[in-house]
Structure 1
Amino acid sequence: MTRTEDDLREAAAWLERLRSPEAGQGDQEEFETWAAHPRRRDAFEAVSAVDAEITSWDPPAPASPWPILGALALGAGGLMAAAGLLIH
Structure 2
Amino acid sequence: MLRSLSAFVTLFRHILMLMGESVPVLKRDIIQRFCAKSRVDESLFLRLLKAREEGQAMRAAEVEPLFQRYYEEIAKLIQLVDQLPKA
The question of a shared fold, defined as TM-score above 0.5 by the shorter chain, is answered with: no
Q: Which has the higher contact order (CA 8 A, sep 6+)?
A: 1
Which TM-score applies when normalising by structure 1? 0.31
Give 1 or 2 for the bigger CA radius of gyration: 1
Higher-helix-fraction structure:
2
